[in-house]
Chain A
């Protein structure tokens, strides 16, 4: 079955420290991969996406993610975290064909940033 795993429910980092959020997926083919961020009470904002090509993807707000096919992973990274990055982060897989396509989301990682 298709699934997305975000092993870390909560992560706390100090402002200025580097960040890596993990995402692993289970899917029979190469999926479309996404990272979204959600601030409290808000919708989801797209950070970055991977469809094909270069496996290192740059996104908004200084985020990047690397697709590793051999590990079925799509980890999100940021070299220096800002206090405004505190939010919940969701990894998603776009899976299925015509008539069955949908996003499958991970359970999210809540990021806390210490001043």
Chain B
């Protein structure tokens, strides 16, 4: 079974731009969670989507948003990029919300 895939793997953007990251979960998994990883803050939960609905949201500003499609694929969007948004963004999928999460390789975003 194919694992979680994330595209693109690397992105360079400038301040003020917006960016969209994509995540394809493991087949049969309906929950997708997003995390931000930075050296200073570690791994922090952004949000979780299940069956196209946001179930839970972390403590991030409204510039961070996401959505999930009927095939469980998910996208996350960051608008008005700031330097501090430079991070590794990890997507994880699970069959149901409270089951084991499997992570993708991440998208490394650099904001200049």
Contacts and interface: CB of A to CB of B under 8 A. Distances in A.
Nearest to A44: B103
B97 interface: yes
Provide the main secondary structure of the chain A interface.
Answer: strand
B33 A98 contact: no
Q: Per DSSP, are chain B's interface residues mostly helix, strand or loop, or mixed?
A: strand
B55 interface: yes
Interface residues of A, number: 24
B97 A49 contact: no
A46 interface: yes
Interface in A89-115: 90, 94, 96, 98-108
10 contacts: A43-B90, A44-B103, A46-B102, A49-B100, A99-B55, A102-B58, A103-B33, A103-B45, A105-B42, A108-B43
Interface of A: 32, 34, 36, 41-46, 49, 90, 94, 96, 98-108
